Amino acid sequence: MKRSQPPAIDIDDQPGHNIRRLHQISVGIFLQELGELGITPVQYAALQTVANHPGMDQRTLARTIALDASTTGGVVDRLEARGWLERRTSAEDRRSRQLVLTAAGAAVLADAVPAMLRAQEHILAPLTERQRAEFMKLLCLLVHTNNEHSRAPSEAVK
């Protein structure tokens, strides 16, 4: 039996392909802006989240920034090795480790925020203010509605 020819599909018309491309572009812009600090987008997310919620445990951090536990462990290990995060034993549960920003971590985060904001501005630069608001609204809708399909769903702390 002869197989039929697959349909010709323009990948540039596919949302998944464009989302992947936008992610590549976003990471590239982030690294251009923050390259001198030597921080990745995931490391920034971890530092900012711990700064916002001091004392959270690693498992909560993983759920909050939508990473699997082993990846988060590696991120925390690297941030701890750089002296930006500390794992402290919880007073309530000696088996639990709480994450806290060090003074060096707070300093690098303070340096990173303006550059991160420039990166976000650069990413959205082609859009008008109204388009930016609509894009962010729709992007958040897609992310929140499809969260359950992630390999590491977010359980963001608000």
pLDDT of 92 reads 76
| Segment 93-139, tens digit of pLDDT | 777 789 999 999 999 999 999 999 999 999 999 999 999 999 999 99
Q: Is residue 137 part of a domain?
A: no
Q: Is residue 65 part of a domain?
A: yes
- Domain hosting 59: range is 30-126
Q: Which has more pLDDT, 30 or 156?
A: 30
The total number of structural domains that make up the chain = 1
Number of H helices, E strands in the chain: 6, 2
pTM (two decimals): 0.88
| Segment 8-18, tens digit of pLDDT | 899 999 999 99
CATH number assigned to the domain comprising residue 88: 1.10.10.10
Q: Is residue 43 part of a domain?
A: yes
Q: Assign 67 a pLDDT band (cuts: 50, 70, 90).
A: very high
DSSP structural state of residue 3: P
Q: Is residue 7 part of a domain?
A: no
Q: Is residue 85 part of a domain?
A: yes
